[in-house]
Amino acid sequence: MSEAVIRVLDLAEIEALLGWAKAEGWNPGLADAAPFQAADPQGFIGCFVDGVMAAGISAVRYGSTFGFIGLYIAHPDFRGRGYGKRVWDAGMAHLAGRTIGLDGVPEQQANYRSMGFMPDYETFRWSGTLEGRPHSEICTFDAVQLPALIEFDRRYFAERRPEFLLNWPALPRQTKVFLRNGVIAGYAVVRQCHEGYKIGPILAADFGVARDLLFSCAIEARGEVLHIDVPAGQIEFSTLLDREGFARGFRTSRMYRGTQPSFDTAGVFAVTTLELG
């Protein structure tokens, strides 16, 4: 067997890994690579054999206490040879000493359990079309709002993620901010994917804010299919999507290894991405 080389991926190689994700049916965004890399430039790792990428993973550090695993893929031509295990080990080493999260599909959850990951909640992919409508308290994100957005986001995520948020709300993605008396009460990001659009996250102080952000984001999709990854506990929001004709698709389980992070899960109406948490 040829000698395998483990190293950090550059931007073009992250694009290639996202191309593998597309082939697997994961439907990433068209412009995900740059903001993903900005979240943790050392957190995208590949295993190379004779200069060819055989497997890849994202292992993104947030703050000093949390990390997230995603994009764990071995190329079909290299499966069954241990290269996936090599990048897994490298990713876990990059996140050593932190609580680690991932979103696991049902067929892999027993495997993750064996490595110390415990399930927290399920997430369902909802897909459908929606006629958008504006709202007087919702505006398009402006960079001057970034400090307040970072602090608001921390209430609903395991750690502060300023490096990620410096890029994720920016074009070509569209970000909607709900302002209540001039204070952020919620925000949502919508982005074009290979198939339709995804909304993520939707973080909101209450159901009404989340609902209005959903309809505001739908304007940007211009009638194309929207995909939203919704925690199973968001019953009222899921009922709204069902009533609007959305179909519930595949499910994943948010799993953690280490101390379960503390944040307001009640305000998470849609996760940011299954790849980065």
Domain edges within the chain: 4-102, 125-270
190: three-class secondary structure by DSSP: strand
Angstrom distance (rounded) from CA 271 to CA 53:
29
- Token reading at 244: 């609007």
Q: Containing H/E element for 52?
A: strand 52-62
* Bridge partners, residue 226, by sequence: 128, 197
For the range 202-206, what are the long-range contacts, defined as Cβ-Cβ under 8 Å and sequence gap of 24 or more? 202/228, 202/268, 202/269, 202/270, 203/152, 203/153, 203/155, 203/156, 203/157, 203/267, 203/268, 203/269, 204/178, 204/267, 204/269, 205/180, 205/267
State the burial class of residue 185 (Cβ atoms within 10 Å of its Cβ: 0-12, 13-18, 19+): buried
Whether 4-102 and 125-270 share one fold: the answer is yes
Architecture of domain 125-270: 3-Layer(aba) Sandwich (3.40)
**For the domain 4-102, what is the CATH superfamily, name and number?**
Gcn5-related N-acetyltransferase (GNAT) (3.40.630.30)
| Residue 126 half-sphere exposure toward CB, CA atoms < 13 A | 27
- The two beta strands, 268-270 and 197-204, are antiparallel
pLDDT in tens, the chain (277 residues): 578 999 999 999 999 999 999 999 899 999 999 999 999 999 999 999 999 999 999 999 999 999 999 999 999 999 999 999 999 999 999 999 999 999 999 988 999 999 999 999 999 999 999 999 999 999 999 999 999 999 999 999 999 999 999 999 999 999 999 999 999 999 999 999 999 999 999 999 999 999 999 999 999 999 999 999 999 999 999 999 999 999 999 999 999 999 999 999 999 999 999 999 9
- The two beta strands, 247-257 and 118-128, are antiparallel
Please state at what angle helix 235-243 crosses helix 207-221, rounded to 10 degrees. 40
Q: What is the pTM of this model?
A: 0.96
Angstrom distance (rounded) from CA 189 to CA 40:
20
Peptide bond into 172 cis (omega under 30): yes
Alpha carbon 244 to chain centroid, angstroms: 24
In single-letter form, the type of residue at position 5 comes to V
Alpha carbon 34 to chain centroid, angstroms: 14
For residue 230, give every residue at least 6 positions away whose Cβ sits within 8 Å of its Cβ, in sequence order, or none: 123, 124, 125, 126, 237, 238, 241, 269, 270, 271
